[in-house]
């Protein structure tokens, strides 16, 4: 279901509660991206950023950072089209829950995507709405969900003309 086809708005968001909004496109992550994430996050350790050392580790290779996967949540929300027609912009409001359920091996590169469900829509006054989305991420080299997160976006309405 494409929420924009159904006229998804801040005003009618509660009608979409519990519904899967969509499954995102695949995002490709390789060792170079993981190394860059390690540098900017100051977590450049061997388990993520040293393929030679990681080969002898418990997973047989380097892993995508859990926070790297979490950093894709905004992209996934946008990618599935969860943009209210009456919304001007949103701000990241944080997370209610985040669990890394499985390690994700990088190998020659890995694809990750998210199934996005609208969990809540809380009116905050002045037309502002806090949207909570549930994300079940999968990786093409793993069985089942690799990460689950409940992500919050605080939406501001478009100003009347």
What would be the CATH architecture of the domain defined by 13-157?
A: Roll (3.10)
Alpha-carbon gap, residue 37 to 107, rounded angstroms: 16
| CA within 13 Å, CB half, 25 | 7
Q: What is the pLDDT of residues 73-95, one digit of tens each?
A: 999 999 999 999 999 999 999 99
Q: What spatial distance separates the first Cα and last Cα of the chain, rounded to whole Å?
A: 30
Q: What is the pLDDT of residues 2-59, one digit of tens each?
A: 565 668 999 999 999 999 999 999 999 999 999 999 999 999 999 999 999 999 999 9
Cα-based torsion angle of the residue sequence 65, 71, 75, 77 in order, rounded to the nearest 10 degrees = 110
| pLDDT score recorded for residue 161 | 76
The H or E element containing residue 19 is none
Task: Please report, for the chain, the start and end positions of each structural domain, with discontinuous segments joined by +.
Answer: 13-157
pLDDT reading at 146 higher than 80: yes
Q: What is the pLDDT of residues 90-123, one digit of tens each?
A: 999 999 999 999 999 999 999 999 999 999 999 9
Secondary structure (3-state) at 54: helix
| pLDDT score recorded for residue 37 | 98
Burial of 97 (0-12, 13-18, 19+ CB in 10 A): exposed
Burial of 18 (0-12, 13-18, 19+ CB in 10 A): exposed
> pTM of the prediction?
0.93
| pLDDT score recorded for residue 160 | 82
| pLDDT score recorded for residue 129 | 98
| CA within 13 Å, CB half, 31 | 12
């Amino acid at each position: 279901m494409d929420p924009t086809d159904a006229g998804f708005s801040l005003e009618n968001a509660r009608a979409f509660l519990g519904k899967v909004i969509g499954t995102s496109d695949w995002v490709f992550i390789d060792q170079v991206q993981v190394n860059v994430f390690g540098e900017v996050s100051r977590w450049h350790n061997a388990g993520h950023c040293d393929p030679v050392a990681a080969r002898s580790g418990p997973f047989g290779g380097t892993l995508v950072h859990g926070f790297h996967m979490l950093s894709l949540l905004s992209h996934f929300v946008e990618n599935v089209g969860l943009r209210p027609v009456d919304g001007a912009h949103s701000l990241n409001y944080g997370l209610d829950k985040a669990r890394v359920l499985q390690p994700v091996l990088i190998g020659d590169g890995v694809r990750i995507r998210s199934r996005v469900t609208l969990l809540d829509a809380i009116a905050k006054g002045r037309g502002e709405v806090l949207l909570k989305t549930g994300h079940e991420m999968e990786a093409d080299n793993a069985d089942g969900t690799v990460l689950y997160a409940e992500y919050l976006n605080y939406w501001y309405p478009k100003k009347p003309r």
